[in-house]
Amino acid sequence: MTAESIRDISSDKDLITIADKVFEGKRITDEECMTLFEKGSLAFVGSLANYIREKKHGNITYFNRNFHIEPTNVCVFSCKFCSYSRLYAKRDEGWELSIDQMVDIVKSYDGKPVTEVHIVGGVHPKMNLAYFIELLKKIKQHRPELHIKAFTAVELDYMFRKAKVSVEEGMKILVDAGLQSLPGGGAEIFHDEVRSIIAHDKVDADGWLKIHETAHNMGISTNATMLYGSIETYFHRVDHMKRLRDLQDKTNGFNTFIPLKFRNANNDMSNVKESSLIEDMRLYAISRIYLDNFPHLKSYWPMLGRQNAQLSLSFGVNDIDGTIDDSTKIYSMAGSEEQTPTMTTEQIVTLIKQAKRVPVERDTLYNIINDYSNVES
């Protein structure tokens, strides 16, 4: 891809100006990001995003060996887009794992080369700060080398408020117990025009950003997400990404950005039509172009589906998450194509190679563990 070849895709002057900035390594503005959403064809934004992706990472596509623990789907909050949670008043319809049950899940991976456990779930009033401190300590006692990535900002906000500790105090307590990084969940859409409708009763945008900034200032890496394709507009998407880009300028603490597709099965927003595959790929591409200070862009294959995740590797994505091992229900319950989300290492390597990319196993912090470029799939 060259500046000249981009003109074969579009002759629009505004789009050509944006392309020139990308090739010159300059940051695009919020207004130019809106222009991409409003006028950029899939071929145009995809070509620019792939240029950036290959400039940053070549053909490398990362994955890791991980599994999830979901302590409970019982939740005090009532997000309209959620197909996963059960209100606390209806907790007999959900599940609640004990600490011993969760440690047993960790033990079931003894002898297996997993590097990360991802712990997120509903916000259960009885699963408080002390409860999770005990869980973290027991996991670390059993398998010290296992990286613990746990708790969305929504869970942490509730946990800290209930314990009457500050964000700084709460984060230090959890880090001392074994917490090593934060996932990006709970961001949804930051702008209150949307958030007040789809997730009115949980931590707001400022609270989410404060928790992640606090983690960054402590040297704790985090991820960032955006729930797209529900009732938000292009303006709301740009506003959301701007807040993330601004914080990354300040702290450089985000590892990766993960767009999460709204799924409309079994929730209070089943009347909202899901976004098309074309719009999905445009969103990935535009986020890669706009979020110039994020090192990585991930497509979460249990949500998007493995074939669509493979396709996203041509639209700016350089990471497809991990093996999962059928250990998450969050998106399968919402109608994702992946009703049994598990892939072996061999399957992930094959999927990446079929897209003409180089499979590289990473740890949570993107240190390389294995390069599978010369391994036959």
Q: Which residues pair with 75 in a beta bridge?
A: 87
d(CA 110, CA 369) in angstroms, rounded, equals 19
Residue 116 has a pLDDT of 95
Q: How is the beta sheet containing 296-297 ordered, strand by strand?
A: 222-228, 254-261, 296-297
pLDDT band for position 72 (cuts 50, 70, 90): confident
- Looking at per-residue pLDDT, the higher value among 310 and 7 belongs to 310
Rounded Cα distance, 288 and 303, in Å: 19
Residues 215-245 pLDDT 10s: 999 999 999 999 999 899 999 999 999 999 9
Report pLDDT for 338.
43
Q: How confident is the model at residue 288 (pLDDT cuts 50, 70, 90)?
A: very high
Asked whether residue 301 carries a pLDDT value surpassing 50, the answer given is: yes
Q: Which of 88-97, 114-123, 175-184 has the lowest mean pLDDT?
A: 88-97
Question: Is 162 within 8 Å of 125 (Cβ atoms)?
Answer: yes
The rounded Cα 205 to chain-centroid distance in angstroms is: 16
* Number of H-type helices and E-type strands within the chain: 14, 12
Q: What is residue 336's predicted lDDT score, i.e. its pLDDT? A: 44
Of the chain, the percentage scoring pLDDT greater than 70 comes to 86
What's residue 122's pLDDT? 81
| pTM metric for this prediction | 0.90
pLDDT of residue 93: 62
Structural domain boundaries in the chain: 5-55, 60-371
pLDDT value of position 339: 46
Tell me the C-alpha distance between 86 and 122, whole Å: 8
Judge whether 3 and 51 are in contact, CB under 8 Å: no
Q: And the tokens for 64? A: 């890791």
- Average pLDDT over every residue of 192-221: 94
- Which pLDDT score, from 0 to 100, does residue 85 have? 52
Encoding tokens for residue 132? 């999770």
Residue written as tokens 């589906």? 305
Q: Which residues, including other chains, have CB under 8 Å from residue 16's CB and lie 6 or more apart?
A: 6, 7, 10
What architecture is domain 60-371?
A: Alpha-Beta Barrel (3.20)
pLDDT tens per residue, range 321-354: 887 664 444 444 434 454 456 788 888 899 999 9
What pLDDT is stored for residue 329 in this prediction? Answer: 43
Among residues 151, 153, 262, 260, the alpha carbon closest in space to that of 203 is found at: 153
Q: By the 8 A CB rule, do 149 and 364 touch?
A: yes
- H helices of the chain, in order, are 13-23, 30-39, 42-57, 99-107, 129-142, 153-163, 167-177, 192-198, 205-217, 234-251, 277-290, 301-304, 306-312, 345-354
Rounded average pLDDT over 68-87 = 68
Contact of 84 with 334, CB cutoff 8 Å = yes
Place of tokens 């949670």: 85
Q: How is residue 297 written in tokens? A: 């862009």
pLDDT exceeds 60 at position 262: yes
| Residue 324: count of CB within 10 angstroms of its CB | 21
- 22-31, 124-133, 202-211, 332-341: which has the minimum mean pLDDT? 332-341
Q: In the numeric block, which tokens belong to residue 117? A: 């456990």
Reply yes or no on whether the pLDDT at 294 is more than 90. Answer: yes
- Mean of the pLDDT values across residues 148-174? 96
> What is the 8-class DSSP label of residue 182?
B
Nearest Cα to Cα of residue 288 among 58, 22, 18, 53: 53
Please compute the mean of the pLDDT values over residues 151-159 and round it to a whole number: 93
pLDDT band per the 50, 70, 90 thresholds, residue 207: very high
Tokens of 191: 């702008």
- Residue 227 is classified by DSSP as E
| AA letter at 204 | D
- Residue 42, pLDDT above cutoff 80: yes
Could you tell me if residue 140 is left (phi over 0), alpha (psi between -120 and 50 degrees) or otherwise beta?
A: alpha
> Which of the four pLDDT bands, split at 50, 70 and 90, describes residue 148?
very high
